[in-house]
Amino acid sequence: MSDGVITGGEIYQVSPAMISSYFEYMTTEYTTYTAGRGMLLIQLSGPNLGEPWSADAARGMLRRAGRRADLPGRIKPHAFRHTFTSAILDASGNDSFVAKEAGNWASAQTVDEVYGHPDQHSPEFIHALRTVWGEVE
């Protein structure tokens, strides 16, 4: 931090929806309780009002949101990282280097080993499945 400006570090790209949500949060709820603390997610009620969220608080918020939306099962924060990485791989033609950078992974090899998969919508993939299933002669 230099003269109230964050310098250095890394810059990541985010979606327009994420920017909009972040802006709304920062200009409404966040400013009411932080008083210059510089934390991103803060508790808005209870005995720890204005304190940073704990990991349990994030999981609790997702659990409540999932119930309100009638979603089956539990929503785990780490699942967002997995879903995002798979979507980036699909959109980039399985370019693990693009997925590594977009998801801030340590290595493209990790992305390949954990998430690497063929484009399940490609004609080649569909043809291969149909061949193995005996549908193509």
Per residue in 51-97, pLDDT (tens digit) is 777 778 778 878 888 888 888 777 777 777 888 888 888 888 888 89
For helices 77-91 and 55-68, the axis angle rounded to 10 degrees is 70
- pTM of the complete model: 0.50
> pLDDT tens for residues 111-129?
888 877 667 778 888 888 8
Least confident window among 28-32, 51-55, 95-99, 131-135:
28-32
Residue 8 reports pLDDT greater than 80: no
Report the pLDDT value the prediction gives residue 130, as an integer from 0 to 100.
87
- Residue type for position 111: V
DSSP character string of 80-131: HHHHHHHHHHHHTTS-HHHHHHHHT-S-HHHHHHHH----TTSHHHHHHHHH
* Higher per-residue pLDDT: 81 or 6: 81
Higher pLDDT, 96 or 4: 96
Q: Which of 121, 67, 61, 62 is nearest to 91 (CA)?
A: 121
Residue 130: what residue type?
R
